[in-house]
Amino acid sequence: MLVDDMIKDSIPLWDEASNLKVVIDLYQGNLSHKSFMKYIVEDTIYLFYYAKVFAYAIAKANDFEEMRFYYSMLSFVNNSEVNIREKYAINTQFDPNYPLGFKPDKITIDYVNHLLEYAINGDIKEITAAVLPCVLSYQYIFNKIKANYKKISNNYEDLVNEYLSDRYTKSCQNWIDFANKLYQNVKDEEKIKYINIFHKSSLLEIDFWRMCEE
């Protein structure tokens, strides 16, 4: 299936991300507060636009099933991922409810622009290829790190545990099932387009992690 091909193509990039010190330190709980808050601020800004891309997908849905799926995933982002980041922003100058009050890093802007390009000018197949790596790579990366490293402290465990949870695993499988159905009639000559979009997002994921390194 096409989703399997997308993942296979990007696995080397995800493996590279799993070896980054910033990601390992985040999992182990010994990432510096400065680097962690850099991640929280930039990722919240990213999620603000990521959610907007889901809204574009809802508007461009071809049927109610596609619309319901993106609506449910939009709710997941708002009610889970954003809520966790709000917790870590308490007693800081950053208010996750108003992310546009902070100027994002160029890397965040590049990633957001990549997603918005397909949200505005593409169709739901292109949008799905662009947003999928953010979802699937987190599960892969943190599970791989969990298998090879031990936690040092409980710092950041709410965030890390979210991506190791059964709920998140189920969400990832729902994404795969949805995408497999979405791409089931894609012609062979079109597949490379979606693989390349997926690959570009995976590259931007690595850049995003590196941005948070000191």
pLDDT of residue 184: 95
- Cα 193 to Cα 96, 173, 188, 190, 199, distances in angstroms: 34, 23, 10, 6, 10
Residue 144: per-residue pLDDT: 96
* Ranges of the chain whose pLDDT falls below 70: 91, 96-98
Alpha-carbon distances, residue 170 vs 69, 162, 175, 205 (angstroms): 14, 12, 9, 21
Distance spanning both ends of the chain, measured CA to CA:
39
Reported as half-sphere exposure (CB side, CA atoms, 13 A), residue 133 has a value of 32
Confidence (pLDDT) at 86? 82
Q: Specify the pTM.
A: 0.93
Length, in residues, of the chain: 214
pLDDT reported for residue 67 = 96
CB 42 within 8 A of CB 208: yes
Tell me the CA distances in angstroms from 8 to 3, 12, 47, 84, one per residue in order.
Answer: 9, 8, 25, 30
Q: 18-33: per-residue pLDDT in tens? A: 999 999 999 999 999 9
Report the distance separating Cα 183 and Cα 142, nearest Å.
27
| Per-domain residue ranges of the chain | 2-94+103-211
* pLDDT at position 91: 67
Tell me which fold the domain 2-94+103-211 belongs to.
Answer: Heme Oxygenase; Chain A (1.20.910)
2: Cα within 13 Å, side-chain hemisphere: 29
Query: What is the pLDDT, as a whole number, of residue 201?
Result: 98
* The pLDDT of residue 43: 92
Report the C-alpha gap between 127 and 182 in whole angstroms.
Answer: 11
